[in-house]
Structure 1
């Protein structure tokens, strides 16, 4: 029962990203249907009822030796990648990582000591070693560790205070990760939203956002490109891009897209009067 609000939140947040949540109940139809109906929009994901022989319970939960309820199975490409309580803090990380293709427990274990070494190297300003450790992690799998590529950019810019090197690395990421929309979007988002970056490299951000849109066209990626243009001072172009994103957005997301569009239009109109 306590997991329902959280599962519903995840379902609404990530359904346009491909997440499908399905509840399985071992109760009767007479109990389940009124319960789900009463919940309404607070339980927007589908709920199935186990067979009278409890086949699903036996083949999944009992086969996995899971005695506790609730119990969640995260499945991708017909393979179970994680089993546990949906209230476990790790559950969200697994869900998001699975959606983006970044969840890989084996590689994460191999990367842990390298990331610790990189963190220690940054702390003592031994950036040469830090870059090597980051690169070793990225080499394990550039997509799984796309966030490390973005972290390296941020570290070069803010800790090493090397904007030239950071720009060169950012362009390298845009090229090497041209098919990885998640990493490209993270790089662009970091540049335009991190308040610690005093002089954002909007040109690099636009390069990354444009590449993300090309790699995975979606309302979200178009909205990101709109945001980059808005932050760079081109409210008119931002409004045009955001309009396209709003028109293509899922009905459940249209209000949020429209709110941003109105902001861009207002700013564009104000600049036109100057």
Structure 2
């Protein structure tokens, strides 16, 4: 991957947009290929059962985020045990390593654990759905369909709850996943154009479509605007996009978050709206509680005010 794409992808992926192969959502769950069942009874997920829901989580003993997720998965298993939910942790490590780890976890790891045969499941699940990191959870519904893929700490609870209640909308979930994939595609295309200095209608068009997808997410909108305004690799600073994205973040957040106000103020300043930028920067400074943040906000305010004096 080109290094200059990392800023924009980092913003998208940390803003709760999870990349999956949306065309596979709703497809039949691949068969479990298990070498060893370490904890719990063997499970057959491919028997369609209106009362059974399965969560297949890929993890490893050496993975910090995976270990962090273990108590949460145990909590979910206990909560939904009598609702037909079975959570299965899948790893590809040595049997002795996994047995020792599970034994040491004790009651913190109270769900089924298994070791896959070779990398068969990594291929049919992880790679098939575009997952490149762990932990990754796959939810299989009562009709033996994979209906959700994501980080076990980010949205899994809600999906299980909706499946149990019968309110899960697969069509809406597929549409959501497709939008997220489109978001990543647009992000890469837009950032490439900014870095290469392509100031033209096509760049504007891609930016407009990108903004339409992120404008209701204050964090992502703000961070993209900030990157457009400040990243050194950018040759074409699309001020119209940055101002619109920062404004969207400001409005969605309620206009009371210092970092978002700071970004909006910078976008206005770079667009020549110095008076409004100063007004907003003063507001950001008044709302800030962290001393280091205050210092940075004050530096920007001083810069804006100095520019105002020079303009006179």
Q: TM-score if structure 2 supplies the norm length?
A: 0.41
More strand, by proportion: 2
Largest Rg, 1 or 2: 2
Larger % of helix: which? 1
TM-score w.r.t. the length of structure 1 is 0.46
